Amino acid sequence: MPESKSPLSGVTVIDLGQIYQGPYATFLMAQAGADVIKVEPLHGEPLRRSDLRGEGPSFPLGFLNSNKRGVTLNLKSEEGRGLLQRLVARADVLLENFAPGTMERLGVGAEKLMTANPRLIYASGSGFGLSGPDRDRRALDVTVQASSGVMSITGAEGGPPMRSGPALADFLGGVHLYSGVVTALYERERSGRGRLVEVAMQEAVYPTLLSDLGLMYRGGGVQLPRRGNHHGAVAPYNVYPTRDGHIALLCISDEHWLRLLQAMDREDLRDDARFASPVTRTENVEEVDAVVEAWTRELTRDEVCKLTELHRVPSAPVRDLAEVTSDPHMHERGMLHRIDHPELGEVVLPGSPIRIHETSIPELVPSPSLGQHNDELYGTWPGLSEEEIAGLRERGVI
Residues 233-262 that bind a second copy (CB under 8 A): 233-234, 237, 239, 241, 246-248, 250, 252
The answer to the question of residue 53 lying near a second copy (CB under 8 A) is: yes
Of 344-373, which residues contact a second copy (CB under 8 A)? 344, 347, 350, 353-359
When the beta carbons of 213 and 269 are compared against a second copy, the nearer one is: 213
* Cβ-Cβ contacts under 8 Å for 244 (sequence gap 6 or more): 300, 301
The minimum distance between CB 229 and a second copy, in angstroms, equals 5
For position 379 contacting a second copy by CB under 8 A, the verdict is no
Give the residue among 4, 6, 2, 22 at the shortest CA–CA distance from 14. 22
Contacts of 63 (CB under 8 A, 6+ apart): 349, 350, 367
- Residue 246: active-site member: no
Helix (H, G, I), strand (E, B) or coil at 136: coil
Nearer to a second copy, 90 or 319 (CB): 319
Task: Verify binding: residue 172, a second copy, rule CB under 8 A.
Answer: yes
Total site size for a second copy, rule CB under 8 A: 137
Of 43, 230, 231, 357, catalytic: 231
Cβ proximity of 217 and 211 under 8 Å: no
Specify whether the CB–CB gap between 314 and 256 falls below 8 A.
yes
CA distance 206 to 259: 36
What track of x and - describes contact with a second copy for positions 179 through 218 (by CB under 8 A)?
Answer: xx-xxxxxx-x---x-xxxxxx-xxxxxxxxxxxxx-xxx
147 near a second copy, judged by CB under 8 A? yes
Give the residue, chosen from 163, 259, 266, 311, that forms a contact with a second copy under the rule CB under 8 A: 163
State the nearest-atom distance from the C-beta of 70 to a second copy, in Å: 19
Here's the x/- map for a second copy, 22-51, by CB under 8 A: it reads as: --x--xx---x------------------x
List the one residue from 166, 267, 283, 376 that touches a second copy (CB under 8 A).
166
3-state secondary structure 384-396: CCHHHHHHHHHCC
Site for a second copy contains 58 (CB under 8 A): yes
How many Cβ atoms sit within 10 Å of the Cβ of residue 91?
Answer: 25
- Rounded to whole angstroms, how far apart are CA atoms 232 and 254? 16
340 binds a second copy (CB under 8 A): no
91 binds a second copy (CB under 8 A): no
CA distances 102 to 20, 139, 278, Å, are 18, 14, 53
For residues 247, 252, 257, 260, the Cα torsion angle rounded to the nearest 10 degrees is -30
> Residues 305 to 324: which contact a second copy by CB under 8 A?
309, 312, 314-324
Helix (H), strand (E) at residue 210 = helix 210-218
CB of 346 to a second copy, least distance (A): 10
Q: Which is nearer to a second copy, 246 or 373 (CB)?
A: 246
User: Which residues are catalytically annotated?
Assistant: 231
